[in-house]
Structure 1
Amino acid sequence: MELTYILFQVAVALLAIVAYHVYRRLSYFKRRGIPHDPPHLFQGNLQGILTKRHMHEIIGDYYDKYQESKLPFVGFYFFQKPSAFILDLELAKHILIKDFSNFSDKGIFYNEKDDPISAHLFNLDGPQWRVLRNKLSSTFTAGKMKFMYPTLVSVADELIAVMHEKVKQNSVLEIRDLVSRFTVDVIGTCAFGIKCNSLRDESAEFLTVGKRVFLDKRHGSFMSGVMQSYPKLARRLGLVRTPSHIQAFYKRIVYETVALREKENIRRNDFMDLLIEMKNQKVTLDNGDVVSGLSIEEILAQAFIFFIAGFETSSSTMGYALYELARHPHIQDKVRAELEEVLEQHDQQFTYESTKDLKYLNQVICETLRLYTIVPHLDRKANKRFVVPGHPNFVIEAGQSIIIPSSAIHHDPNIYPEPSEFQPERFSAEESAKRSSVAWLPFGDGPRNCIGLRFGKMQALIGLALLIRNFKFSTCPKTADPLVYNPKSFVLAVDGIQLKVEAV
């Protein structure tokens, strides 16, 4: 009886400690006098996340509510994690560029021991991130992109052949699915040296698993909130984010590929070759330190994020671009005219050099990424206390989480007049020069921008160029207007885009 009483007292004491800690967390901004919305106990300011509301809607509504306040930031609770929600572009520039050394970390959960696939470049912090970024920086140079270019074009040619076959059978196509198959085949070839053949095989494993990554969850919202709110604690507890079937698939593919290439001395001059080279060589950093090559777990994580990021962002961008071009035939005609002019200058050949001349098509891609920002926000964390210039009462404390609402910034009418309208002219050299450099953030900015942005844009540009040259896209009764986004997906995703397609 006495033992039961003691255990009861211990349990009550622990609950009191936890309750006090949660209370302190959820009153963080109130104690500091920073404007914020009252948080939900578990979801913070993310009420309805992954059920009724998608992240872009939540971020956008919060930004719209406080943007006119002219404050540098307001408080935002990402589950139970207090975050500085940035409203001022000049402060965003300090965080991303000017004072990057103080904001180089993200503070996102990863667990290299129990969930090695989560310890990729996008998530890592501190020295681990710096070393890995340095190792991988040579992977996405212009020279490497030029080398992968012919492979990319060959997959694009296969896409055009498949499209011609499908158009003969039915003029209305689900275009989002088709461009997903294109990017899967490109990434599968360039990253793994594997011919996925998803353009012709509708049950291709690479495509099926790739789609599940953004929808399948290992845990419910409560445990996801724990990992987001308390990443260090979650790591100590050995929590794992990646679903077991996702881990098993990529681990099998990567480990088998690496073993076979090393045993047979196979070289394909693709992304996997570059990772294997790094596995077997030491790297000298800028400060003179020498570090060992990549481990097999690091290869797994980088191959995983390269595939997922390249597959989803590029295919979504292509799908949304075709949707807007179908709704704006005069813009589509202008893109097609530019294509013919550029190809005439390059002997009717799509060369790496010719893509640089497709300036208007590049503007279309930039405007698509603005209007349909795939990832809703950027995460950062302060390493040291930072007083906002010009606002002495607004302090970002050491360890403070930061949210830069890129998708909301892209829809701010003070930055982009008529933000819901599709206007590629916004990204002419003259118009771009009028805006802050951090007013367009689909790939982030500064030293921690997306390392694969050059590859992603090249993939989307080639795919769109060949599609527009060979086909005319238009809306039809099955075309959704407006598009309906899937609230269960963290990225901006739709279940399909139906367009009428005719061969040119």
Structure 2
Amino acid sequence: MSFLPFFSLETWILLISFLFLFVMYGTWTFGVFEKLGIPCSKPLMYWGTTGRDHQVYYLADAVCAQKYGKIWGMYELRKPILAVMDPDMIKTILVKECFTYFTNRRMFVLMKHHSARLTENLQTKAEQDEVICIKDYFGAYSLDVMASCALSVDLDSFKDPSGPFSTHAGKLFQFSVLLFLFQGFFPFFIPLLNLLGASLFNKSASAFFKTVVENMRAERNNSSKHSRDVFQYMINTQTASHYKKDSQNSGLTDHEIISQATMFVFAGYETSSATLCFLVYCLARNPKIMKCLQKEIDATFPNKDPVTYEALMQMEYLDSVVNEGLRLYPPLARLERMAKETVKINGTTIPKGMLVMVPVYALHRDSDLWPEPEEFKPERFSKENKQSINPYTYLPFGIGPRNCLGMRFAMALVKLALVEVLQTYSFEVCQETEIPLQMDPQGLVKPLRPIKLKVAKRCTEAANLGNFD
């Protein structure tokens, strides 16, 4: 024992006890899936199964689906998560109550205002046959639409791409990896971190948007004029409940209004811009599909007639294209619910408190559900084929009582941009286009590097390519 450092007996007891507790704490949540008879990759102390099957978490879901089938377990650091891809179980989990967890015409007019700016700003690039970063254009359009519809703010991000709104919007979802790991390893410190003001979201970006929304709220409180936007709708619910003195339905608090307005704008901006970028990327890689879509656009709005909401929403091939894009690249890679009580679904016991995760990205690429899942095939969602799709196998916006409230809004935003841009322009892959895309391992579903394509003015002659479907 002479080679060991000299410590007192008490010190050795403390050191050994600390090491024992450290190891035990880092592993004591493991083993739950073995007891339930659910397959799971072998977890590492504290780290769990994070990054074990793939660096990108939603691609890891796809790998696990191939290894284990429709149900498997995982550990996000120390937290056990049950992954479910069985459609019948998904129906129960997302719709039943044992688990917790509006578009109007005025908003469409605002969307059209910004889509006109989008097509105008693409003109110079198209005339010069330039390669562009798609996110620069569809990101600016999405941010402008979200800001005007939610807050009645006209940003014009095309003129001011480095303005404070655009700059901070890009930072908001840059999560702190070290803080995420610390919270995952030691969740009992979360209340203290909250008291200290620590947040996974970018602190400067969060503070900027909180200040903007608070100032807007103060201005509206002192003004007799009322905007007709999402922010005002939230304020109205609070005001109405105040006058009614309804203790059961007290409306939103000031903090909730500010948080919801901020998340509506910037979560909507991120998901809508990413969806548009992925769609244009898929169309550029499949020029015949793009020409079929342009043919439907020309037939619906001949001579570049103004786009109307009613006609836009009735375009069948456009709907198929957008749905197929959302299948390949859903905005959210996962949906999560917490079991409020121990339940048994299709023979699988889910303990109370278990986090249940639906791996949407992997579900949408399951070859048992989608033949040739990696191929971009809008005909999957044609009028004839759509009826055969199980709604619990296609979840780009979730489903059930907590599905995406902005679904119709997002679909109108995306479809309008596609139609107005493709009326005038076409997109092509080029030497700078990354094929296949390398995906970002953090946050929402998005490419690691910006998508680059060539934009060109459309030929005037229409291609004769038969039916749209």
For the criterion TM > 0.5, the same-fold answer is: yes
Of 28, 34, 47, the match for 1:43: 47
Q: Do the aligned partners of residues 11 and 459 (structure 1) sit closer, same or farther apart at CA in structure 2, a change above 3 Å counting?
A: farther
CA distance in 1, matches of 2:13, 2:343: 42
Deviation of 1:279 (Å): 2.9
Deviates more, 1:73-82 or 1:149-158: 73-82
Aligned position for 1:111 = none
Residue 251 of structure 1: SS of its match in structure 2? helix
What is the one-letter code of the residue matched to 1:274? Y
**Contact persistence 1:40–1:47 (CA under 8 A):** no
What is the one-letter code of the residue matched to 2:426? K
Q: Do the aligned partners of residues 95 and 236 (structure 1) sit closer, same or farther apart at CA in structure 2, a change above 3 Å counting?
A: farther
Aligned position for 1:55 = 57
Residue 414 of structure 2: SS of its match in structure 1? helix
Aligned position for 1:102 = 98
**TM-score, L = length of structure 1:** 0.82
Of 152, 171, 174, the match for 1:212: 171
Q: How does 1:72-87 map to 2 (within 5 A)?
A: 73-87=71-85
Give the paired residue count: 447
Asked whether 1:355 is paired with 2:312, we answer: yes
Aligned position for 1:126 = none
Residue 481 of structure 1: SS of its match in structure 2? coil
Asked whether 1:323 is paired with 2:281, we answer: yes
CA distance in 2, matches of 1:199, 1:266: 29
Post-superposition CA distance 1:79-99 (Å, at most 9, x none):
1111111131111111112xx
Q: Do the aligned partners of residues 388 and 48 (structure 1) sit closer, same or farther apart at CA in structure 2, a change above 3 Å counting?
A: closer
Percent identity, aligned pairs only, is 28
**Contact persistence 2:175–2:200 (CA under 8 A):** no
Aligned position for 1:203 = 162
Deviation of 1:278 (Å): 2.1
Q: How does 1:165-244 map to 2 (within 5 A)?
A: 165-217=124-176, 219-226=178-185, 230=187, 234-235=190-191, 238=194, 240-244=199-203
Deviation of 1:40 (Å): 1.8
Deviation of 1:265 (Å): 2.8
Of 345, 367, 387, the match for 1:388: 345
Deviation of 1:17 (Å): 4.9
**Contact persistence 2:379–2:385 (CA under 8 A):** yes
Structure 1: tracts of 5 or more residues without a match: 106-139
Deviation of 1:260 (Å): 1.1
Residue 371 of structure 2: SS of its match in structure 1? coil
CA distance in 2, matches of 1:221, 1:262: 37
Q: Do the aligned partners of residues 360 and 224 (structure 1) sit closer, same or farther apart at CA in structure 2, a change above 3 Å counting?
A: farther
Deviation of 1:34 (Å): 2.3
What is the one-letter code of the residue matched to 2:342? R
Aligned position for 1:108 = none
CA distance in 1, matches of 2:72, 2:457: 51
Residue 384 of structure 1: SS of its match in structure 2? coil
Deviation of 1:457 (Å): 1.1
Q: How does 1:69-468 map to 2 (within 5 A)?
A: 73-97=71-95, 100-105=96-101, 140=102, 142=103, 145-217=104-176, 219-226=178-185, 230=187, 234-235=190-191, 238=194, 240-282=199-241, 290-344=248-302, 348-389=305-346, 391=347, 394-468=348-422
Aligned position for 1:482 = 436
Post-superposition CA distance 1:208-255 (Å, at most 9, x none):
21121222427445214247xx4x762365353223212211111100
Residue 485 of structure 1: SS of its match in structure 2? coil
Asked whether 1:29 is paired with 2:33, we answer: yes
Asked whether 1:65 is paired with 2:63, we answer: no
**TM-score, L = length of structure 2:** 0.88
CA distance in 2, matches of 1:382, 1:7: 43
**Contact persistence 2:71–2:83 (CA under 8 A):** yes
Residue 42 of structure 1: SS of its match in structure 2? coil
Runs (4+) off by over 6 Å: 4-12
**Contact persistence 1:149–1:352 (CA under 8 A):** yes
Q: Do the aligned partners of residues 367 and 354 (structure 1) sit closer, same or farther apart at CA in structure 2, a change above 3 Å counting?
A: same
**Larger Rg over CA atoms:** 2
RMSD: 2.6
What is the one-letter code of the residue matched to 1:96? L
CA distance in 2, matches of 1:471, 1:146: 26
Deviation of 1:484 (Å): 1.8
**Contact persistence 1:282–1:290 (CA under 8 A):** no
Q: Do the aligned partners of residues 95 and 241 (structure 1) sit closer, same or farther apart at CA in structure 2, a change above 3 Å counting?
A: same
Post-superposition CA distance 1:27-70 (Å, at most 9, x none):
22223332211112222111269xx8222211111111112xxx
Deviates more, 1:407-416 or 1:193-202: 193-202
Post-superposition CA distance 1:159-195 (Å, at most 9, x none):
1111113323452221122101110111111112222
What is the one-letter code of the residue matched to 1:64? Q
Residue 447 of structure 1: SS of its match in structure 2? coil
Residue 73 of structure 2: SS of its match in structure 1? strand
Structure 2: tracts of 5 or more residues without a match: 1-7, 459-469
